[in-house]
Amino acid sequence: MDFSLDFIEIIKKSQKVVILTGAGVSRESGLDTFRDAGGYWSKYNPYELASPQGFRANPLLVWQWYQARKIIASQAEPNPGHNAIAEMENYFPEFYLFTQNVDRLHHRAGSKKVHELHGTIFESHCFDCGLPYPQDFEIGETLATIPRCPECNGYVRPSVVWFGESLPYEALSMAYQKSQSCDLFLTIGTSSEVYPAANLPHQAIYGGAYVMEINPNETSFTRDSNLSIRQKSGEILPEILRIIKEIKVK
């Protein structure tokens, strides 16, 4: 792709960069939240598997799903889009990556400045009191295999944000603040329909940033973006990285 001189100029001038990533980036690594594991879990309603009510009703089912997702995510590999994002953080004085993905692929690609807006499937905490539960464990066929909180005896749960729950306050307020004050904002592989993350590119526009969208499909944000590239992130981000490397000093 040939980038416009305007875009190259924007990259040259940008000091503060914010990137927001969503499910599309993980999908290019073969991960698809509710269709994983050969479709076995697609017979369940997402609310049964990913809400506090669903966990209360059937914690074993919820844990078995998360355990399957952990295995699938561990076997997946970061794609060229993850890798390009990880390298980009070296070229800007300020760089923040906010992700809605819970699979840790950004970390595995080498990103150090990642903030997980929806938590991660690789950590756990107490459902009742919130105490982190750092030990490893394996879920079997019975309720007794779900670990209990050492403080209050509540069930341990995955540290992800479920339907009906708030996003972690610190990560979210930082995301708002950095979006409002950045020069360049990239929204990548996100449908722009899940709030409050979908607000972030709008915050960047209000703050005067140049906002670029990368998504194979049109989204509700497309018309508001300064530039929308309908391509897979794994194809276009390495090209953007190449331009950054040509004009920026590490």
State the residues that interact with Zn ion by CB under 5 A. 126, 128-129, 131, 149, 151-152, 154
Is 118 annotated as catalytic?
Answer: yes
Minimum gap (Å) between residue 148 Cβ and Zn ion: 8
Minimum gap (Å) between residue 225 Cβ and Zn ion: 43
100 φ/ψ angles, rounded to the nearest 5 degrees: -95, 0
71/129 with CB nearer Zn ion: 129
29/124 with CB nearer Zn ion: 124
Burial string for 19-53 (b: 16+ CB within 10 Å, else e) reads bbbbbbbbbbbebebeebeeeebeebeeebbbbee
Minimum gap (Å) between residue 158 Cβ and Zn ion: 15
Minimum gap (Å) between residue 151 Cβ and Zn ion: 5
19/126 with CB nearer Zn ion: 126
98/162 with CB nearer Zn ion: 162
Residue 189 · residue 217 · CB < 8 Å: no
55/95 with CB nearer Zn ion: 55
Query: 105 to each of 109, 111, 129, 157, how far by Cα in Å?
Result: 6, 9, 28, 21
- The Cα 233–Cα 25 span in angstroms is 7
Number of H-type helices and E-type strands within the chain: 10, 8
Minimum gap (Å) between residue 52 Cβ and Zn ion: 14
At 242 the three-state DSSP class reads helix
The H or E element spanning position 19 is strand 16-21
- The Cα 108–Cα 201 span in angstroms is 25
**Catalytic entry in 82, 106, 118, 125:** 118
Count Cα neighbours of 234 within 13 Å in the Cβ-side half-sphere. 13
| Catalytically active residues, by annotation | 118
